[in-house]
């Protein structure tokens, strides 16, 4: 099933906060509730967040009591601002909201026709995401050799998209092609998306894996026990700098030092050509409870009065990347030139 989907005039999403212990689908009828779900990480992963925001705008259309197109457009604009503010780093969120607003302003007809057009565009965006992921997966799978052990960071599978996945979608496709691969799954602290979500997905696909803590990656890379590194991205700058889940930079550094190829897998909607380099990407800093709330054997890890920091992302400089996999092919350096070509 899809991670994000429309059914019976509701937006439905897999609740990723409670996996792998429980599998539950939650329903939303309000764009503000969708915005909170994005902030609270009921749904996460740049493409999935984008689709959720798109359907959130569709909900806003039906929430609005306005009978005029002018009033409805005003309500949609206000809802788009609420949704875009829910998480700052993932560019797909603003991209999706802006795409739907462009469609909304282009509609010539009644308020109800406008509502229907916004919903139709949200569904189109979600369907396109699945096809884009499968195209990326084919391009990326060609980079994986039979027998490879791959280190994967965070979660980039079907749960992070509408369906199939970005970096994990590449791994899934390579597996389905018959390649014998093994995945070392970074826990991805502090929210443990690797240990909770990626491991759960790999079990569904029957792909062999082992969970490692984030600080073990260097050992496996130096020992020659990993041949590739794959992760996704929440925003890619015009020069190929990649903002991804915190810990990606350290992983890429260790891989680069040991001559292990590093690939970021992203749809072109995640590439932000308006930002010249990664230092301009806004980095979300989340509640420190995510760090301080971790327990070991049922007991808190940190002292009672401890303080913490919790940036959710870091930026991997383009010099550490071997390539960026998109639905239009694999982009190689110089990224400043080739990324613009693949986007256009």
- Residue 82 half-sphere exposure toward CB, CA atoms < 13 A: 19
* Six token digits for residue 139: 């391009």
Residues 6+ apart with CB under 8 A from 218: 254
234 among known catalytic residues: yes
Q: How far apart are CA 265 and CA 184, in angstroms?
A: 17
Question: Helices 69-84 and 111-141: crossing angle, nearest 10°?
Answer: 40
* Six token digits for residue 62: 């039906």
Q: Is 328 exposed, middle or buried (0-12, 13-18, 19+ CB in 10 A)?
A: middle
Q: How far apart are CA 60 and CA 283, in angstroms?
A: 27
Residues 306/292, Cβ–Cβ less than 8 Å: yes
Q: How far apart are CA 281 and CA 258, in angstroms?
A: 28
Q: Which of 75, 163, 214, 234 is catalytic?
A: 234
Tokens 């990347």, residue? 321
Instruction: Classify residue 118 as left (phi > 0), alpha (psi -120 to 50) or beta.
Output: alpha
Residues 270/304, Cβ–Cβ less than 8 Å: no
26, containing H or E segment: strand 25-28
* Six token digits for residue 323: 């390539």
Residues 6+ apart with CB under 8 A from 97: 53, 54, 57, 80, 83, 84
Q: How far apart are CA 104 and CA 71, in angstroms?
A: 12
* Six token digits for residue 298: 């049922």
List, by residue number, the catalytic residues: 234
């Amino acid at each position: 099933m899809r991670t994000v989907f429309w059914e019976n005039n509701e937006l439905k999403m897999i609740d990723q906060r409670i996996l792998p212990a429980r599998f539950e689908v939650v329903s939303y009828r309000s764009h503000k509730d969708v915005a909170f779900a994005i902030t609270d990480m009921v749904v996460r992963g740049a493409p999935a967040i984008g689709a959720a925001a798109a359907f959130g705008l569709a909900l806003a259309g039906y929430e609005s009591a306005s009978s005029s197109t002018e009033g409805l457009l005003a309500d949609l604009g206000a809802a788009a601002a609420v949704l875009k503010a829910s998480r700052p780093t993932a560019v797909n969120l603003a991209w999706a909201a802006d795409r739907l607003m462009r469609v909304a302003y282009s509609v010539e007809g009644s308020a109800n026709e406008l509502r229907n057009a916004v919903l139709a565009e949200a569904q189109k965006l979600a369907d396109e995401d699945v096809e884009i992921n499968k195209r990326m997966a084919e391009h990326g799978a060609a980079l994986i050799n039979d027998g490879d052990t791959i280190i994967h960071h965070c979660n980039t599978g079907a749960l992070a998209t509408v369906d199939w996945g970005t970096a994990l979608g590449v791994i899934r496709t390579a597996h389905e092609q018959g390649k014998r691969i093994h995945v070392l799954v970074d826990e991805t602290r502090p929210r443990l998306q690797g240990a909770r979500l990626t491991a759960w997905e790999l079990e569904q696909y029957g792909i062999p894996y082992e969970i490692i803590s984030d600080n073990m990656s260097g050992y496996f890379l130096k020992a020659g026990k990993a041949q590739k590194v794959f992760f996704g991205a929440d925003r890619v700058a015009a020069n190929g700098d990649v903002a991804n889940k915190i810990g990606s930079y350290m992983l890429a550094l260790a891989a680069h030092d040991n001559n292990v190829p590093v690939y970021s897998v992203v749809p072109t909607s995640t590439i932000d050509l308006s930002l010249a380099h990664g230092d301009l990407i806004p980095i979300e800093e989340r509640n420190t409870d995510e760090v301080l709330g971790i327990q070991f054997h049922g007991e808190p890890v940190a002292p009672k009065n401890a303080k913490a920091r919790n940036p959710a992302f870091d930026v991997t400089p383009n010099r550490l990347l071997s390539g960026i996999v998109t639905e239009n092919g694999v982009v190689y350096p110089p990224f400043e030139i080739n990324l613009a070509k693949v986007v256009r």
